[in-house]
């Protein structure tokens, strides 16, 4: 389980770097309660600017940033 969590975080970090913040926000739609914190952690690991952009995209998409 821990290995999969690490893999999931690595995939999210790569996605956040490669795609737009809006694309990243769409990932959270199926399960925002679980996915928003993981998405924000991944964005934060890239840079403060990425985190800020993803938070903004989440708000625009109507998904609360936890």
What tens digit of pLDDT does each residue of 16-48 get? 999 999 999 999 999 999 999 999 999 999 999
Please compute, for residue 53, the number of CA atoms within 13 A of its CA located in the half-sphere on the CB side: 15
- Token readout for 55 is 């938070």
The answer to whether residue 27 sits within a structural domain is yes
At residue 6, the pLDDT reads: 85
CA–CA separation, 28 vs 3, rounded Å? 21
Query: Regarding predicted confidence, which is higher, 8 or 47?
Result: 47
The answer to whether residue 65 sits within a structural domain is no
Q: What percent of the chain has pLDDT over 70?
A: 94
Q: Is the pLDDT of residue 59 over 90?
A: yes
Query: In which domain, by residue range, is 15 found?
Result: 2-60
- Token readout for 12 is 């999210």
The answer to whether residue 43 sits within a structural domain is yes
Count of structural domains, the chain: 1
The answer to whether residue 23 sits within a structural domain is yes
The answer to whether residue 33 sits within a structural domain is yes
């Amino acid at each position: 389980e821990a290995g999969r969590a690490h893999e999931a975080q690595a995939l999210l970090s790569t996605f956040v770097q490669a795609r737009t913040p809006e694309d990243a926000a769409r990932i959270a739609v199926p399960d925002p309660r679980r996915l928003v914190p993981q998405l924000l952690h991944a964005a934060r690991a890239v840079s403060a600017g990425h985190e800020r952009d993803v938070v903004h995209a989440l708000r625009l998409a109507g998904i609360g940033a936890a």
